[in-house]
Chains A and B, each alone.
Chain A
């Protein structure tokens, strides 16, 4: 079951890459595989028992025995939601790409499907080495997707992206080797906790770069701007969550001692990132810039929740991971749609798009309002839980978080107003149509899920950790 979730997209990728299909058929096949993946995930949810602590739907197979490395996969409640996020966002991204049309479609969709498989693998692997394998396997398709199909500055963007992420990843590899060999096993479930600060920092380096956490975000603006919109959606929506997941599953679960040693610096950096990202988002001159920096801010917020290390914070962080994944994916896809129409993402050249384009206005407004965490929205539930959680650690962090929510309202309303309201910008002509049915079919499901989560955030907060006992689940049931 779990294995099928990883290898269905991989098989789809091979199919798409090797079969001589016509360009249209390639996109359709890829989309079909992505939708089948969602169906498979729904089936997984149906089989999952949310009341049971511990690993479920587990599969294990020895890979090489002398160092005790195995192919070990399985689900926890929170990984189930992140896999769901992956399947949904990737399906939307593939749908968007097949609607917008991409050159060299066989390579493109093959890589997108490989990326799906690698992301699912990251969220379900229960062996350190296997986790690293999927973590790296995620980078290779991204490298190509940004480097081949990206914008004019793609060479520089990919270089920065790879240098940053690999520097972090390789430190993690060193940590994995030292941790695994010192424990005698690379299994995540069977091994105990560890007290080494250096090993902990190796892991944190990898996750902090990928998230990204302030001040390791230098790769972010270039990469998010230069990649195609759907790849940016995947990057900020899902790939960044892999880092947050790593914080939760490895850094927090395995290193109780170092977490309490380094909690203050990490919380301070997260808070800095939250404020700094929000300010930059407010100042960014283009659509993608706003979304990219708001992503930096939101990852800071999620990190605050995670390193609060209490039930409220962890539950809120998991909910916010899903929320932000859906929000930033929707926003990037919408930004892509707007850029297609106006041929630019400069906020100064946009404006007045609401008139005569009701669908675009409604969808963008709804997403934006959820993103700025208006009370009653899913993001509000997530942020509230995070702030309440981090308040128990130190009230200062909660104050910073509250300030950031105000800043979020500022940059999000600025974006909405610059695109939809004001007088029509010079790049907006009457030829720019409203969202097409296909685009609506791609973005509306994402927004609909957000609306469902707004009405029922407990769907995630009460089903991520058995009995919502997040800390004890992470620390004990995960052992």
Chain B
């Protein structure tokens, strides 16, 4: 007898962003075989960019047509505006990352695979952003993680790249294992996989003090904390960020963090609302730890990439404050914060990549000397990003911090504002240190030899990407209303 398998109806539209990226990756792999080596770089990068652009458009359409969020494909994923907005943020970061990658001095051997994996990592993140069950959560997480493990190690000529990939694989695997184990415990306690059903069962059976459930929750927070590189789950971040090819770092620092934090928000608010009294405290503690570790360690870094890695840890701390607030304002704050943060993050790594190519060696704070005067656009851009990270006005970073602190106040946790303010004060030292290096000290003083005389390389694609990042960083300061409205639409369903 033939068993009939009941397949659930599939909402292809909800999957469209992930499919666009999957398709781009697939086409790139075919290109790896059929396109002549000389054209491969340009063809595959354009296809990858088109994939991300397609995901961006699909995300926007999905945002417009998913006003009432609902589960699709047997409730495995949630088609809602939270996922759609996150998709747009990820896809936007992806487009910028492709722009950063374009002129990366990587051998042409694996360039098609590089862009295929970049698209697939994006696809995994996009898929994860709408996960609404423990299974799709783990599936999406591994999907993009495995792509990233390879991407970190893909440039075999780059010193440290392989090491970075291996480190990320081992530590990331540990994080995934934590998440999986936590999920298993939660499933064991409730017998449910879908987030909202977990919450229902917990409420119906009065499980909110169940040891299994609480332990599972703790492990899941840890697992997601690894991906968001929040302290104390951050150990891999500086090494991997430093060792990986800079465009990969740019993409990781923005998109991975975005999706991990959004997922954390989604899981905690939909699956564990009864446990809020526990996880808000836990998240607040992780936030404070991240702020402390990230800021203090960043103070003493000489490598710009390491400094930015620690800075990304501290920003995870800021965004976790928004999650810890567990209120509508916090949800808005997180989604708003991610928009300028991702632009600044990709943008600043793009500038580092440009300097790396110019000097042909890792960029230190010292070796940025005079950069601002030599390359006005990139120097100005780096200034904007650093000021944005530090939360100065005329950048979205300021409004993001303002919203995060407002959310903490709304929750009644004024002490979190004080912690955040102290962290910001510390962060000024290293953010302004970059500006000081770029403008205040002439490069002759440090005797930096440019790679090979003549004018610096003209990298039109990278410069366009950096300009776009500036537009988002500064634009989000002026256009707060539309962005915050979008963030509200995306998150209001979580806090009903």
* Chain B residues, Cβ within 8 Å of A65: 481
Find B392's partner among A136, A171, A181 (CB 8 Å cutoff).
A136
Tell me, in angstroms, the Cα distance from A62 to B480 when the chains sit together: 10
* Chain A residues, Cβ within 8 Å of B428: 162-163, 166
B424 at the interface (CB under 8 A from A): yes
A216 at the interface (CB under 8 A from B): no
A155 at the interface (CB under 8 A from B): yes
Scoring A63, A132, A170, A178 by chain B CB atoms within 10 A of each residue's CB, the highest score goes to A170
Tell me, in angstroms, the Cα distance from A134 to B398 when the chains sit together: 12
User: Nearest Cβ distance between residue B487 and chain A, in whole angstroms?
Assistant: 10
Find A177's partner among B387, B393, B399, B406 (CB 8 Å cutoff).
B406
Contact between chains at A167 and B425 (CB < 8 Å): yes
* Chain B residues, Cβ within 8 Å of A147: 436, 439-440
User: Measuring CB to CB, which residues of chain B are less than 8 angstroms from any residue of chain A?
Assistant: 329, 332, 373, 387, 392-394, 398-399, 402-403, 405-406, 409-410, 414, 417-418, 421-422, 424-425, 428-429, 432, 435-436, 439-441, 480-481, 484, 488
* Chain B residues, Cβ within 8 Å of A50: none
Query: Closest B-chain residue to A149, C-beta based?
Result: B440
* Chain A residues, Cβ within 8 Å of B406: 67, 177, 181
Query: Closest A-chain residue to B432, C-beta based?
Result: A162
List 9 other contacts, CB 8 Å, given A66-B488, A136-B393. Answer: A67-B406, A133-B398, A137-B393, A158-B440, A163-B425, A167-B425, A174-B418, A177-B402, A178-B417
Tell me, in angstroms, the Cα distance from A213 to B432 when the chains sit together: 25
Tell me, in angstroms, the Cα distance from A181 to B428 when the chains sit together: 26
A288 at the interface (CB under 8 A from B): no
Report A150-203 residues with CB < 8 Å from chain B CB: 154-155, 158, 162-163, 166-167, 170-171, 173-174, 177-178, 181
User: Nearest Cβ distance between residue B392 and chain A, in whole angstroms?
Assistant: 6
A436 at the interface (CB under 8 A from B): no
Find A166's partner among B393, B398, B417, B425 (CB 8 Å cutoff).
B425
A104 at the interface (CB under 8 A from B): yes
Contact between chains at A155 and B436 (CB < 8 Å): yes
Contact between chains at B417 and A174 (CB < 8 Å): yes
User: Nearest Cβ distance between residue B367 and chain A, in whole angstroms?
Assistant: 17
* Chain B residues, Cβ within 8 Å of A171: 421
Tell me, in angstroms, the Cα distance from A155 to B369 when the chains sit together: 14
Pairs A–B under 8 Å by Cβ, sample size 27: A62-B481, A63-B481, A64-B480, A65-B481, A66-B329, A66-B484, A66-B488, A67-B403, A67-B406, A133-B394, A133-B398, A134-B393, A136-B392, A144-B439, A148-B440, A166-B425, A167-B425, A170-B424, A171-B421, A173-B402, A174-B405, A174-B414, A174-B417, A177-B409, A178-B417, A181-B406, A181-B409
Find B421's partner among A162, A173, A181 (CB 8 Å cutoff).
A173
* Chain A residues, Cβ within 8 Å of B373: 104
Interface of A is mostly: helix
* Chain B residues, Cβ within 8 Å of A48: none
Query: Closest B-chain residue to A172, C-beta based?
Result: B421
A129 at the interface (CB under 8 A from B): yes
Tell me, in angstroms, the Cα distance from A134 to B440 when the chains sit together: 24
Known: A63-B481, A66-B332, A158-B436. A178 touches B414 (CB 8 A): yes
* Chain B residues, Cβ within 8 Å of A62: 481
Contact between chains at B410 and A181 (CB < 8 Å): yes
A218 at the interface (CB under 8 A from B): no
Contact between chains at A140 and B392 (CB < 8 Å): yes
Tell me, in angstroms, the Cα distance from A178 to B393 when the chains sit together: 18
Contact between chains at A178 and B484 (CB < 8 Å): no
User: Nearest Cβ distance between residue B328 and chain A, in whole angstroms?
Assistant: 9
User: Nearest Cβ distance between residue A175 and chain B, in whole angstroms?
Assistant: 10
Query: Closest A-chain residue to B373, C-beta based?
Result: A104
Tell me, in angstroms, the Cα distance from A63 to B482 when the chains sit together: 10
Interface of B is mostly: helix
User: Nearest Cβ distance between residue A168 and chain B, in whole angstroms?
Assistant: 10
User: Nearest Cβ distance between residue B76 and chain A, in whole angstroms?
Assistant: 33
* Chain A residues, Cβ within 8 Å of B488: 66
User: Nearest Cβ distance between residue A15 and chain B, in whole angstroms?
Assistant: 16
* Chain A residues, Cβ within 8 Å of B480: 63-64
Tell me, in angstroms, the Cα distance from A104 to B374 when the chains sit together: 12
* Chain A residues, Cβ within 8 Å of B422: 170
Find B432's partner among A66, A137, A143, A173 (CB 8 Å cutoff).
A143
Known: A147-B436, A155-B440. A177 touches B425 (CB 8 A): no
* Chain B residues, Cβ within 8 Å of A63: 480-481
Tell me, in angstroms, the Cα distance from A66 to B329 when the chains sit together: 9
User: Nearest Cβ distance between residue B393 and chain A, in whole angstroms?
Assistant: 4
Tell me, in angstroms, the Cα distance from A416 to B393 when the chains sit together: 43
Query: Closest B-chain residue to A171, C-beta based?
Result: B421
User: Nearest Cβ distance between residue A30 and chain B, in whole angstroms?
Assistant: 18
Contact between chains at A154 and B440 (CB < 8 Å): yes
Contact between chains at A174 and B440 (CB < 8 Å): no
Contact between chains at B440 and A137 (CB < 8 Å): no
Known: A66-B484, A129-B402. A140 touches B387 (CB 8 A): yes
* Chain B residues, Cβ within 8 Å of A136: 392-393, 398
* Chain A residues, Cβ within 8 Å of B414: 174, 178
Tell me, in angstroms, the Cα distance from A64 to B387 when the chains sit together: 22
* Chain A residues, Cβ within 8 Å of B429: 163
Tell me, in angstroms, the Cα distance from A236 to B406 when the chains sit together: 34
Tell me, in angstroms, the Cα distance from A170 to B410 when the chains sit together: 19
User: Nearest Cβ distance between residue B155 and chain A, in whole angstroms?
Assistant: 36
Give 7 nearest A-B pairs by CB, closest first.
A133-B393, A64-B480, A170-B421, A147-B440, A136-B393, A64-B481, A177-B405
* Chain B residues, Cβ within 8 Å of A140: 387, 392
User: Nearest Cβ distance between residue B205 and chain A, in whole angstroms?
Assistant: 37
Tell me, in angstroms, the Cα distance from A136 to B393 when the chains sit together: 7
Tell me, in angstroms, the Cα distance from A411 to B102 when the chains sit together: 64
Contact between chains at A137 and B436 (CB < 8 Å): no
* Chain B residues, Cβ within 8 Å of A170: 421-422, 424-425
User: Nearest Cβ distance between residue B344 and chain A, in whole angstroms?
Assistant: 16
